[in-house]
Structure 1
Amino acid sequence: MRILYVSVHDVLEYDELKIFTELGYECFSHGSYCRPHLGSENRPPIPEMSYDPHFASLVDQSPKDDLHPDLIKDKDIIIIMHIPSIVINNWEKIKHKRVIWRSIGQSVAWVEQVLQPYRNQGLEIVRYSPRERMIPGYIGEDAVIRFYKDPAEYNGWVGDKSQIMALNRWMIQRAIDCSYDIFHKTCSGYPVKLFGPGNEGLPESAGEITYEQLKQELRENRVFFYTGTQVTSYTLGFIEAFMTGIPIVSIGEKLGNHEFYKQQTFEIQEIIENGKEGFVSDNMLELKTYLHSLLTNYELAKTISNNARNKAIQLFGKDNIKQQWRQYLSKRS
């Protein structure tokens, strides 16, 4: 069976193509991994994937919104990541195939609305969080399959650096989406590093880091402070931290669901049991207290770390997610 995977996010693309390839599917990406032996800007190569120079050349010539027919004709399954226009503009060319729209936590009411006619014609939908059912005008799901991380790769937290870390990009430019003010005020007075592009000039900015540096920072730092990215239920950065076992302090449901978006899709308060697997609050003084406790009490941090990692493996572990994809993709293949 051959999958055409139309990607808009190279980190998720890497993760899911690895699983599909391991499941025995022959995968071809309209994305960063159209040349899988080269990898992407943020993730390493996938040498197990097939490399077809002609396919890659067609990808270079073919925008996602107007897929070349030769990219489609010999594929059995087409998986489209998030962008509705890819479905809409290519529908007449792909509707005779098995087409799966893969959510990535960015859907809002208008996305559901414009996809409804294609849903009625057989478009399958795989969600990444059960909390997406809170989207106004929700058009349903065929499965909920979370993002994943490999526990064998994200592990080994030691927390010997008594400082806070965070992952986000362009925080000040996306202030509503990323809650920069909350992040800045809550971490004020503590050692903190904010990793990610577009944060230059911010007092917390520690610049960009490589894939291997990311895993090392997650192991070494004491606390991970999470403010989310509207309108996501959770991010890949969150599950990388959760899986590694770095104790997480997160904003809660009120702050995580900005009134501008009018949907209650933030999920961290349902994933983390407060005080057991991390800390969650909508009160900045409480958040600051939690950060202080973890920075000054290593035994508390170790207990939280162990609990968090166990929960992460249960919800986001590679083996579980791989089995869910195996069952789902085999239903009609």
Structure 2
Amino acid sequence: MRILYVSVHEVLEYDELKMFTELGYECFSHGAYCRPHLGSRLRPPIPEMPYDPHFASLVDQSPKDDLHPDLIKDKDIIIIMHTPSIVINNWEKIKHKRVIWRSIGQSVAGVEQVLQPYRNQGLEIVRYSPRERMIPGYIGEDAVIRFYKDPTEYNGWIGNKSQIMALNQSMRERAIDCNYDVFQKTCSGYPFKLFGRGNEGVPESSGELTYEQLKQELRENRVFFYTGTQVTSYTLGFIEAFMTGIPIVSIGEKLGNHEFYKQQTFEIQEIIENGKEGFVSDDILELKIYLHNLLLDHGLAKTISENARNKAIQLFGKDNIKQQWNNYLSKGR
């Protein structure tokens, strides 16, 4: 079985292509991994994936919104990541195939609305969170399969650096969506570092991390402060932290769901049991107290870490997600 995977997010692309390949599918990506032996800017190569120079050349010439027929004709399954225009503009070329729309936490009412006609014609939908059912005008699902991380790769938290870390791109530019004001007020007075692309010039910025540096920082820092990204239920960065076991302090449902979007899709308050697997609050003073206590008490941090990692493996562990995808994709064989 051959999969055409149309990607708009190279980290998720890496994770899912790696997993589908391990499941025995021949995967071909219109994305960063059209040449899988080279890898991407953010993640390593996937040498197990087939490399077809002709396919890669067609990807270079063919925009996602106008896929070349040769990219499609010998594929059994087409998985399209999020962007509705890819479905809409290619529908007449792909509708005779098994087409799966993969959500990534960015859907809003307008996205659901424009995809409805294609849903009626057989478009399959795999959601990444059950909270997406709260999107106004929700058009349904065929499965809910979360993002994953490998617990053998994201592990080994020690927390020897008594400081706070956060991961977010262009945080000041996306201040409302990333709760930058809350981030600044909560972390003020404590040692903290903000990692991620596009934060140049921000006083908290500690630059962009390589893949290996990311895993090392998650192991060494004491606390991870999470302020979300509208309108996501959770992010890959959150999962990476949760799986590693670095204790997480997060905003809650009120701050996580901005009133502008009018949808209650933020999920962290349901993933983390407050006080057991991390700490969640919408009150800045409470958030500061949680950070303070974790910075001072490594024993507390260690207990939270162990509970968090167990929960992360249960919800986001590779083996569970791999089995869910295997069951789902096998239904169409």
Matches within 5 A, 1:58-97: 58-97=58-97
Q: Report the more deviating stretch, 198-207 or 297-306.
A: 198-207
Structure 1 position 8 matched with structure 2 position 8: yes
What's the TM-score, normalizing by structure 1? 1.00
Aligned-residue Cα RMSD (Å) equals 0.3
Structure 1 position 279 matched with structure 2 position 279: yes
Q: CA deviation at 1:170?
A: 0.5
The AA in structure 1 aligned to 2:273 is E
The AA in structure 2 aligned to 1:284 is I
Structure 1 position 270 matched with structure 2 position 231: no
1:292 is aligned to: 292
Q: Report the more deviating stretch, 193-202 or 292-301.
A: 193-202
2:167 is aligned to: 167
Structure 1 position 255 matched with structure 2 position 255: yes
> Residues of 1 paired with 2:236 and 2:222: CA distance?
19
2:35 is aligned to: 35
SS of 1:163 mapped into structure 2: strand
The AA in structure 2 aligned to 1:211 is Y
The AA in structure 2 aligned to 1:251 is I
Q: Deviations over 1:243-286 (max 9, x none)?
A: 00000000000000000110000000000000000000000000
Q: Deviations over 1:116-159 (max 9, x none)?
A: 00000000000000000000000000000000000000000000
The AA in structure 2 aligned to 1:74 is D
Q: Deviations over 1:226-250 (max 9, x none)?
A: 0010000000000000000000000
> Residues of 1 paired with 2:198 and 2:70: CA distance?
37
Q: Percent identity?
A: 89
Deviation beyond 2 Å, 4+ runs, structure 1: none
1:201 is aligned to: 201
> Residues of 1 paired with 2:275 and 2:200: CA distance?
33
> Residues of 1 paired with 2:208 and 2:20: CA distance?
29
> Residues of 2 paired with 1:44 and 1:28: CA distance?
16
Matches within 5 A, 1:179-328: 179-328=179-328
1:57 is aligned to: 57
SS of 2:18 mapped into structure 1: helix
Q: CA deviation at 1:203?
A: 1.7
Q: CA deviation at 1:173?
A: 0.6
> Residues of 2 paired with 1:97 and 1:39: CA distance?
28
The AA in structure 2 aligned to 1:296 is L
The AA in structure 2 aligned to 1:106 is Q
The AA in structure 2 aligned to 1:256 is G
> Residues of 2 paired with 1:193 and 1:210: CA distance?
15
Q: CA deviation at 1:202?
A: 1.4
Q: Which runs of 5 or more residues in structure 2 are unaligned? A: none
1:129 is aligned to: 129
SS of 1:14 mapped into structure 2: helix
Q: Deviations over 1:27-73 (max 9, x none)?
A: 00000000000000100000000000000000000000000000000
SS of 2:79 mapped into structure 1: strand
What's the TM-score, normalizing by structure 2? 1.00
Q: CA deviation at 1:201?
A: 1.6
1:116 is aligned to: 116
The AA in structure 2 aligned to 1:232 is T
> Residues of 1 paired with 2:200 and 2:185: CA distance?
18
